[in-house]
Chain A
Amino acid sequence: MKAEKSPYNAVTPEIVQQLKEILGDKHVVYDDPEALEPYSHDEVPDLRYRHMPEALVRPDSAEQIVAIMKLANEVNIPVTPRGAGSGLAGGAVPVFGGIVLSLDRMNRILEIDRDNMVVVCEPGVVTSEINERVAEFGLFYAGYPMSLETCYIGGNVATNAGGAKAVKYGVTGRYVLGLEVVTPTGDVLQLGGKLVKDVTGYDLLHLMVGSEGTLGVFTKITLKLMPSPRKTVDLLCLFASTPEAIAVVPRVMTESGIIPTAIEFMDRVAVMASCEYLNETLPYERAGAMLLISVDGASAEQVERDYEAVGELCLSAGAIEVYVADNRTTSERMWKVRRNIPEAFAVQSDLQMNEDLVVPLAAISDLVAGMETISARYGVMMPSYGHAGDGNLHTRITPPSDWDEQQWLAVMPKFQHDLYVLTAELGGRLSGEHGIGHKRKEHMKTFLSPETIAAMRSIKKAFDPNNILNPGKIFEG
């Protein structure tokens, strides 16, 4: 955000020459602002979080990354690893310039091991490709971030990405069985493997998961696969108001005894914007809020029983209508409404603030009610939507269209402060699945004690004594 004084050296033509010796001329970009610009940002809409890299490298192997890290330590130049750049916290933005290390060329699926139910792949594999490839073995990878058609699996592991199926299947970390990691100082670690259980020493594997590219660069990822569900049905449930919709969420699991794959929530503002953006003609004007609930299972009969039970529970809890999608076409129509919410707000104003709040399940209704109060207090739109089934709500705060940047920046710290204090009071945290990056680091202290932050810092220091790998992230200063 604000320009930080750089403790690093600049990338020089001599260093570029050394990089070219490691990677070949073709895969080093330097002194070409147009080609480097896409690497100055991720999907965070706020332009203030952008920062240009000085050079881009596109390695093809762990050996090349080892050499790059060793060189970077020698010449004191920061290295920022990057996946697809679909992140929402600035994790892949080179805040001190230096080298961006893109993993886009390392996009091979190395092994599909049906007997062990694992897939071994490189970090640059697009997440949705994994399922395209393993489907023929009757297997599937349960990660389902909303950006799955563009994001890379490496980024999913680096942020411990969640997504819409986390209610039933959990987040990325649950499926990471093994990692090959290049450390910030250029060592290669083999962590875990094809093992379901492993307590051989500290769990460095899961220390790496969610480390946002600050502790190591992943070069090989072993993921656990599951038997594919044979049938999935989605329910789109319209409620008159947010409290009514939210009140159903905990009841779905406790009363029906069914764990849905997904329970997504969308409030009125979010639904209206998305339906209008998509020209969708669902009777959304009647709905104050919607829940999108998925159930899956091994047989059509079981899934039918489950969705009927969940749907009837929603109706008895006051749902105005429950729509059923038991084929791909209808299902896609429902999910589009959910997936397009951020885009629907992005077209309304350049001034945007994305939040990724997470609270204990039972506190969601208090969070949503509090968000409505805060949005009214500051006169901004605060659509709330997201993964209600795991307490993780998103909002894309957008000002009225006639606000200028100055007005926006004047109130932003205020509503952000109110929102974070509320979340912390409810026992929640700053980020459920997007990560901290440099975008949220100044707010860490609202949520974590100084001792906790200090413990995290000493881990970073142990792996990266020169602070070369993705500096300026997670921690302030």
Chain B
Amino acid sequence: MRLVVPIKQVPETDNVKMDAETGTMVREGVEAIINPLDLYAIELALAIREDHGGEVIALSMGPAQASTALREAVAMGCDSAVLLSDRAFAGSDTWATGYALQAAVRKLGDVDLVICGERATDGETGQVGPGIAAFLDWPVATYVCRLEALADGRARVRRLVEGGWQVVDVQLPAVLTVVKEVSTPRLPTLRGKLRAKAEDLPVWGAADLDVEGDKLGLNGSPTRVVKIERPKVARECRKLVATDESTTAAAIEAVVEFLQQRELL
């Protein structure tokens, strides 16, 4: 099995502060980490390698600093990593990102599975994984919460869909995007860290890939961010005061009615 895991370096948002005036994140002093959902993709890939043999290659497009995320992936157990970094890629939207990443997957060659996190915590689009599949013309299974079987050139996966599960077979090579139910990511080890530090990470630019220049970066991106607005959330709070038996009963009744009206009970 030759597995590729495209990952993204994102700001650590667990402890983030928002600028009240601009509505944007205060980036100063914020650590850069592997997109948390990508960790589940890495773990799934490593588990597949343990069961079926093969190799896991981490792939990321970003500035030179993104190599930190790739080294972390190697420290977790990925066999190697490739960084796509070039001014030509700057300003890519999800379309151009998917295009560049699929070119890298083609260049790597003989890939059986591309496993992505469902979405990145900074962009929240979830489009890059399916985008890679579209450019490669491979089948894609999104929202994968379990790999049920992997044999005879097919993967049987359980997808988390609204209201339940869907079990589908996909023919390899394929792209999977995973949700966090799919695995529990392992922690990077010291031995892995030392190996990752010594690892010579190849950096590929546009010239290294079989790509059309006008499909890359800002120029190749059909999306334009025109404006960022914060939606106003109107909360309608109703306070039920329960001090004795009769008011408590009335309050319970009101809650039940509220839930029934919304078909939640």
Give A contacts to B, CB under 8 Å: 235-236, 281-282, 307-308, 311-312, 315, 321-325, 327-330, 332-334
Contacts and interface: CB of A to CB of B under 8 A. Distances in A.
A292 to B, nearest CB: 12
A321 B194 contact: no
A328 B190 contact: no
Contacts of B12: 327-329
Contact of B188 (A315, A323, A328, A332): A323
B187 A330 contact: yes
Interface string B12-32: 101100000000000000010
B184 interface: yes
B65 interface: no
A312 B190 contact: yes
15 contacts: A281-B184, A307-B190, A312-B190, A321-B189, A322-B191, A323-B188, A323-B189, A324-B75, A325-B187, A327-B12, A328-B15, A328-B31, A329-B12, A329-B36, A330-B188
B199 to A, nearest CB: 15
A311 B36 CA distance: 25
A357 to B, nearest CB: 30
Contacts of A327: 12, 31, 33
A193 to B, nearest CB: 32
B184 to A, nearest CB: 4
A322 B187 CA distance: 9
Nearest to B34: A327
B194 A308 contact: yes
B166 to A, nearest CB: 26
A449 B75 CA distance: 55
Interface in B168-216: 184, 187-194
Interface centre among A321, A325, A334 (most CB of B within 10 A): A321
Q: Which 4 A-B pairs have the closest CB atoms?
A: A322-B190, A311-B190, A323-B187, A281-B184
Contact of B187 (A282, A308, A328): A282
B32 to A, nearest CB: 8
A87 B52 CA distance: 53
Contact of A329 (B33, B189, B190, B194): B33
Contacts of B188: 323-325, 330
A315 B191 CA distance: 9
B117 to A, nearest CB: 14
Given A329-B12, A329-B33, A329-B36, A324 B190 contact: yes
Contacts of A322: 189-191
A334 B188 CA distance: 12
Nearest to A280: B184
Contacts of A236: 187
A330 B12 CA distance: 11
A321 B75 CA distance: 13
Interface of B: 12, 14-15, 31, 33, 36, 75, 184, 187-194
A194 B31 CA distance: 34
A324 B193 contact: yes
Contacts of A281: 184
A235 B194 CA distance: 14
A236 B189 CA distance: 9
Contact of A333 (B15, B187, B192): B187
Contacts of A315: 190-191
A332 to B, nearest CB: 8
Given A235-B190, A328-B12, A329-B33, 16 more contacts: A307-B190, A308-B190, A308-B193, A308-B194, A311-B190, A321-B189, A322-B189, A322-B190, A322-B191, A323-B188, A324-B189, A325-B187, A327-B33, A329-B12, A329-B36, A330-B187
Given A281-B184, A328-B31, A329-B36, A323 B190 contact: yes
Contacts of B187: 236, 282, 323-325, 330, 333-334
Nearest to A236: B187
Contacts of B184: 281
A286 B203 CA distance: 38
Contacts of A325: 187-188
B14 A329 contact: yes
Contacts of A330: 187-188
Contacts of B33: 327, 329
Contacts of B36: 329
A307 B252 CA distance: 56
A281 B184 CA distance: 7
Contacts of A328: 12, 14-15, 31
A94 to B, nearest CB: 29
Interface centre among A236, A322, A329, A333 (most CB of B within 10 A): A329
A311 B191 CA distance: 9
A157 to B, nearest CB: 27
A275 to B, nearest CB: 12
Contacts of A312: 190
B26 to A, nearest CB: 11
Contacts of A333: 187
Contacts of B31: 327-328
Contacts of A332: 14
Contacts of A324: 75, 187-190, 192-193
A255 to B, nearest CB: 17
Contacts of B192: 324
A327 B192 CA distance: 16
B244 to A, nearest CB: 14
A322 B12 CA distance: 23
A330 B190 CA distance: 14
B248 to A, nearest CB: 16
Contacts of A311: 190
Nearest to B75: A324
B71 to A, nearest CB: 11
B242 to A, nearest CB: 15
Nearest to B30: A328
B120 to A, nearest CB: 15
Contacts of A235: 190
A128 to B, nearest CB: 12
B60 to A, nearest CB: 16
Nearest to B15: A328
B5 to A, nearest CB: 18
Contacts of B194: 308
A324 B187 CA distance: 7
Contacts of B190: 235, 307-308, 311-312, 315, 322-324
A321 B192 CA distance: 11
Contacts of B75: 324
A35 to B, nearest CB: 15
